[in-house]
Chains A and B, each alone.
Chain A
């Protein structure tokens, strides 16, 4: 419970700033609409208003402030609009409906999890190779780093198109991009973890004439566990981002990414925002699950509780 309070404080602060920002962000839009429907607005021409700061405009028209929170197509949706949209599309629709965020969430979650699994496996295998083989250390590591400098936004459509041409559609292409983003933190963390035993630990095993395989299973792998979990937490959120990015430019019809795009293209920002927050919530839950597994695993391993 002690960890909940700081989190809630930050959320409250964000909501507060957000709520304040809604007024100046939407003021011009609201004033235009209000004038069209006959309300008195100062200044009374759109051009004069354009030159007025949003905050000043709000102070001159206090009777319009309430309207900035309920616009249908606001520049910045208010927290309660996003909240209602999320509630409605999560709980108010059948999960099989194309308007259900749960449906879109699953469309995004499946490739995220598959990509995360592939990325983690690949990352661990590469890390083991890098730690045990000088050749791999010299050859694979630089490429792994270079791979992460390519903007994923540029790469994702290419991967989708190439895989599509090869007849691979559906979950797999998105998973490939998710794996592409998530293998890297796993490689870096596991290499560090597998190399974490110090000289004394290595010497100790030498005094037992331990072979490489034994020292891997008995020392290197268990030592790397805390590092692995730190990497997994970064990896799973990278996976989710990868999947969403894969959905954005490729005309995907479902998933959080598609939902955000649809909201933008059809002028329904509330929809985009709801998808965005649902994605953030999903990421938080995924990271939370890994934290729970981590706590359980480390406790089972007898590590001192932090």
Chain B
């Protein structure tokens, strides 16, 4: 049977009007993301990867073209709380505890007190922060804060997780560790994940599908379906298969740059 894709973009264009004239952030973007996919968007700054993620989230409205999320428009999907969004910075409220921060979306969505505490406990366990709910953000390291912000995005059981360079500000050792944890989390929750990055190895390590983009105008230059197994220890990054996928991503990025 053929399943309708979770996210479906057809002929998507987005042009920002600026004082220096129009900027073509997205040009003719076509992409299907299926349920349970882990899709990375990779490309240099200005290639529209974040803009595309924001279009999925309904934070940005395309100038033309069609995009659906769970069969709904992005705005409807946002109102139906179809996705959790993780930003580049953790953005935790300093006046709320970790638990309080995770409760924020739950309070806004009107969950019961009992359900809130149950969910806080569950998502803290998912991101390996059990016991930290009474701590304030400043008492946690950068990596732990970002894990807490992922927990916040998971708390209301959206089946899509959109992540905009969530580990971009962290050092490589922490990043490796979080990548490994993210894969485990993805395997346990079976969520559909959209992940923006500009690290080739991060994209290849995490994804089932890698979308290579290039700037001016922002467009997709290559879509790579990863042949790596679902089970991925960190040392898979030394395997020939991994290296050949990374090579293809690198070629895609170079091709995007060639005619600039």
Q: List A residues at the B interface (Cβ < 8 Å).
A: 200-201, 203-210, 214, 218-219, 222, 225, 301-304
The answer on a CB contact under 8 Å between A302 and B95 is: yes
The answer on a CB contact under 8 Å between B94 and A303 is: yes
Residues in chain A near residue B87, CB distance under 8 A: 200, 203-204
Given known A-B contacts A302-B136, A304-B136, A304-B138, A209 and B95 have beta carbons under 8 A apart: no
Interface size on B, residues (CB 8 A): 24
Residues in chain B near residue A303, CB distance under 8 A: 94-95
Residues in chain B near residue A200, CB distance under 8 A: 87-89, 91
Stretch at the interface among B14-22, B25-33, B35-43, B101-109: B101-109
Q: Nearest chain B CB to A200's CB is how many angstroms away?
A: 5
Beyond the given pairs A207-B83, A218-B108, A304-B138, 12 more chain A to chain B contacts, judged by CB atoms under 8 angstroms and listed by A's residue number, are A200-B87, A200-B88, A205-B108, A206-B59, A208-B81, A209-B78, A209-B108, A218-B104, A222-B93, A225-B95, A302-B94, A302-B97
Q: List B residues at the A interface (Cβ < 8 Å).
A: 57, 59, 78-79, 81, 83-85, 87-89, 91, 93-97, 104-105, 107-109, 136, 138
Residues in chain A near residue B104, CB distance under 8 A: 208, 218
Residues in chain B near residue A208, CB distance under 8 A: 81, 104-105, 108-109
Interface of A is mostly: helix
Q: How far is the CA of A304 from the CA of B138 in the complex (A)?
A: 6
Q: Nearest chain B CB to A297's CB is how many angstroms away?
A: 10
Q: Give 4 nearest A-B pairs by CB, closest first.
A: A301-B95, A304-B138, A302-B136, A207-B85
The residue in chain A whose Cβ has the minimal distance to the Cβ of B109 is A208
The answer on a CB contact under 8 Å between A204 and B91 is: yes
Q: How far is the CA of A205 from the CA of B231 in the complex (A)?
A: 35
Q: Nearest chain A CB to B154's CB is how many angstroms away?
A: 13
Q: How far is the CA of A222 from the CA of B92 in the complex (A)?
A: 13
Given known A-B contacts A208-B81, A210-B108, A203 and B94 have beta carbons under 8 A apart: no
Given known A-B contacts A302-B136, A304-B136, A209 and B93 have beta carbons under 8 A apart: no
Q: How far is the CA of A176 from the CA of B138 in the complex (A)?
A: 42
B83, B88, B93 — most chain A CB neighbours (10 Å): B93
Residues in chain B near residue A222, CB distance under 8 A: 93, 95
The answer on a CB contact under 8 Å between B79 and A219 is: no
Residues in chain B near residue A204, CB distance under 8 A: 85, 87, 91
Residues in chain A near residue B93, CB distance under 8 A: 219, 222
A-B contact pairs, 20 of them (CB 8 A): A200-B87, A200-B88, A200-B91, A203-B87, A204-B85, A204-B87, A204-B91, A205-B108, A207-B83, A207-B84, A208-B105, A209-B78, A218-B104, A222-B93, A301-B94, A301-B95, A302-B94, A303-B95, A304-B94, A304-B136
The answer on a CB contact under 8 Å between A209 and B81 is: yes
Residues in chain A near residue B109, CB distance under 8 A: 208
Q: How far is the CA of A302 from the CA of B94 in the complex (A)?
A: 7
Q: Nearest chain B CB to A213's CB is how many angstroms away?
A: 11
Q: How far is the CA of A159 from the CA of B57 in the complex (A)?
A: 55
A203, A207, A222 — most chain B CB neighbours (10 Å): A207
Q: Nearest chain A CB to B199's CB is how many angstroms away?
A: 21
Q: Nearest chain B CB to A193's CB is how many angstroms away?
A: 13
Residues in chain A near residue B97, CB distance under 8 A: 302
Residues in chain A near residue B84, CB distance under 8 A: 207
Q: How far is the CA of A304 from the CA of B93 in the complex (A)?
A: 12
Q: How far is the CA of A204 from the CA of B136 in the complex (A)?
A: 19
The answer on a CB contact under 8 Å between A214 and B108 is: yes
The answer on a CB contact under 8 Å between A207 and B108 is: no
Residues in chain B near residue A302, CB distance under 8 A: 94-97, 136
Q: Nearest chain B CB to A212's CB is how many angstroms away?
A: 12
Q: How far is the CA of A242 from the CA of B105 in the complex (A)?
A: 45
Q: Nearest chain B CB to A304's CB is how many angstroms away?
A: 4
The residue in chain A whose Cβ has the minimal distance to the Cβ of B78 is A209
The residue in chain A whose Cβ has the minimal distance to the Cβ of B97 is A302
The residue in chain A whose Cβ has the minimal distance to the Cβ of B83 is A207
Q: How far is the CA of A106 from the CA of B204 in the complex (A)?
A: 73
Q: How far is the CA of A207 from the CA of B155 in the complex (A)?
A: 13
The residue in chain B whose Cβ has the minimal distance to the Cβ of A206 is B59
The answer on a CB contact under 8 Å between B59 and A203 is: yes
B79, B104, B109, B136 — most chain A CB neighbours (10 Å): B104
Q: How far is the CA of A302 from the CA of B97 in the complex (A)?
A: 8
A200, A208, A214, A301 — most chain B CB neighbours (10 Å): A208
